[in-house]
């Protein structure tokens, strides 16, 4: 049975992880740029899904679709795909492929079809699957997030319990890279329950890695309340990055409460100041256009942006009502003319990046500073 993987840039890291997982069960996911017999697999996010819908519907081969969008809207995707993998694919995908190869009918846990669905019966233990094999990818060190930010798909896909890959496994895969980039929803939560940091675990991890390690920056940004003097001292001692990236998301306390961030604006300000004091450039993720944002809230975010860019950098994103999140189906609020003017000026000065008016830009931009767009992490922490 020939099994293909539809190459999509945004899903490169998923390809690396699932290629490695399927290899364990004897399936080789061959890269293709259109659907081919016998089976073609896709991983789609909610921004690129419309571009592949017709291709999948018209495919003559068997199609399997997973990824953030399939997890958020499985019934919708099952209207045009043969099988929809919901949530984590490392165990479910090879299990489905084995069933198809053996001609076994009947539902597979974690898979939705036009005929019905069976809930997943497992959660992946990260050490049970390599992060990559011959198809290289970033090393995912942690999965799941106990916070429930209402705009974010991560806890809805991977659950609210944080799981971690062991230090030995991470170190052995890191040896294959000169520049080591790790994936986590919050790198400074490594080894913890995701709410109470365990810096001893972070220290053990960092001290076990060789090469140039990038920690607390893409693709393992951190939460602002995890940025402490001790954490920055550790990163400074062991890592190569000069930037620390974290999301504050809004300059308005009212908005932070509505989106369930679980931290305050003051936490964000303190994180920026600590970064500066320890010689790091703070890179702050912010969002605008929440449906309940008022002119006053927008002004509070603009004030925060003006302050951050004095010593740091802002990555600003237009709010997207992602499927599967509590804010799905809401309407983004357009930025005011005053905001557009200020943001344009800061962007021209190189102080601000991102897109505050066209969400698609954030998903389709070319690689930046060695970054690869990927769909394992939906938004910055
Ligand atoms: S934005 Fe970050 S902290 Fe919030 S739910 Fe998503 S991964 Fe967790």
Distance 156 CA to ligand 1 centre (A): 10
Ligand 1 centre distance from Cα of residue 98 (Å)? 34
Residue identifier of the C-alpha nearest atom 2 of ligand 1: 381
- The dihedrals phi and psi of 109, each to the nearest 5 degrees, come to -55, 135
Q: How far is the CA of 65 from the centre of ligand 1 (A)?
A: 24
Q: Is 152 in the pocket of ligand 1 (CB under 6 A)?
A: yes
Closest atom of ligand 1 relative to the 260 alpha carbon: 4
Portion of the chain with pLDDT greater than 90, in percent:
91
* Model pTM score: 0.92
Question: Structure tokens of 28?
Answer: 């080789």
Residue 154 CB–ligand 1 contact under 6 Å:
yes
Ligand 1, atom 1, lies closest to the CA of 381
The predicted model gives 84-100 an average pLDDT of 97
Closest CA to 368 of 289, 315, 309, 311: 315
pLDDT score of 136: 93
pLDDT reading at 365 higher than 50: no
Ligand 1 in contact with 151 (CB < 6 A)? no
Q: What is the pLDDT of residue 364?
A: 40
Instruction: Tell how strand 62-66 and strand 139-140 pair up.
Output: unpaired
Closest residue by CA, ligand 1 atom 4: 149
Q: Which residues contact 259 (CB under 8 A, 6 or more apart)?
A: 149, 150, 151, 249, 250, 290, 327
The model's confidence at residue 105, banded by pLDDT at 50, 70 and 90, is: confident
- Which residue minimizes the CA distance to atom 3 of ligand 1? 381
**Which phi and psi angles does 11 have, rounded to 5°?**
-110, 25
Residues 6+ apart with CB under 8 A from 114: 78, 79
Q: Which helix (H) or strand (E) holds 212?
A: strand 212-214
pLDDT band of residue 32 (cuts 50, 70, 90) is very high
Residues 6 or more apart whose CB falls under 8 angstroms from that of 184 comprise 140, 141, 142, 190, 219, 220
Query: Is there an atom of ligand 1 within 6 Å of 223 CB?
Result: yes
The overall average pLDDT reported for the chain is 93
Model confidence band, residue 358 (pLDDT cutoffs 50, 70, 90): low
The token duo for 127 is 């050490």
Task: Give the whole-angstrom CA distance, residue 351 versus residue 291.
Answer: 26
| pLDDT single digits (tens) 198-230 | 999 999 999 999 999 999 998 999 999 999 999
Q: How many CB atoms lie within 10 A of CB 62?
A: 18
Can you list the alpha helix ranges (DSSP code H) found in 211-264?
229-238, 253-258
Kindly give the distance from the C-alpha atom of residue 150 to the centroid of ligand 1, in angstroms, as a whole number.
Answer: 9
Q: Which of 59, 56, 58 is nearest to 67 (CA)?
A: 56
């Amino acid at each position: 049975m020939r099994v293909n993987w539809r190459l999509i840039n945004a899903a490169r890291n998923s390809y690396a992880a699932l290629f490695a997982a399927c290899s364990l069960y004897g399936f080789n996911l061959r890269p293709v740029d259109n659907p081919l017999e016998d089976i073609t697999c896709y991983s789609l996010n909610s921004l690129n899904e419309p571009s592949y819908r017709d291709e999948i519907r018209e495919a003559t081969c068997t199609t399997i679709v997973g990824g953030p969008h399939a997890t958020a809207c499985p019934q919708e995707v099952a209207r045009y795909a043969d099988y929809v993998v919901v949530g984590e694919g490392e165990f479910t995908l090879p299990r489905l492929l084995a069933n198809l190869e053996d001609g076994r009918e009947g539902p597979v846990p974690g898979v939705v079809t036009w005929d019905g669905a069976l809930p997943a019966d497992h959660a992946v233990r990260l050490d049970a699957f390599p992060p990559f094999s011959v198809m290289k990818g970033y090393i995912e060190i942690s999965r799941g997030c106990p916070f429930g930010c209402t705009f974010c798909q991560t806890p809805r896909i991977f659950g609210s319990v944080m799981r971690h890959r062991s230090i030995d496994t991470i170190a052995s895969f890191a040896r294959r890279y000169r520049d080591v980039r790790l994936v986590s929803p919050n790198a400074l939560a490594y080894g913890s329950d995701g709410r109470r940091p365990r810096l001893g675990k972070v220290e053990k991890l960092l001290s076990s890695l060789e090469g140039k390690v990038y920690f607390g920056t893409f693709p393992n940004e951190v939460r602002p309340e995890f940025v402490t003097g001790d954490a920055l001292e550790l990163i400074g001692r062991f890592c190569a990055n000069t930037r620390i990236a974290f999301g504050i998301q809004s300059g308005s306390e009212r908005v932070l409460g509505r989106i369930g961030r679980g931290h305050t604006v003051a936490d964000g300000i303190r994180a920026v100041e600590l970064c500066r004091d320890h010689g790091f450039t703070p890179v702050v993720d912010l969002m605008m256009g929440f449906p309940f944002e008022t002119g006053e809230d927008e002004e509070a975010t603009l004030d925060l942006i003006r302050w951050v860019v004095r010593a740091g950098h802002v990555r600003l994103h237009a709010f997207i009502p992602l499927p599967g999140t509590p804010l799905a189906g809401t309407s983004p609020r357009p930025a005011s003319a005053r905001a557009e003017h200020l943001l344009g000026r800061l962007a021209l000065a190189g102080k601000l990046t991102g897109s505050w008016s066209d969400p698609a830009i954030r998903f389709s931009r070319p690689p930046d500073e060695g970054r690869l767009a990927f769909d394992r992490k939906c938004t910055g922490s």
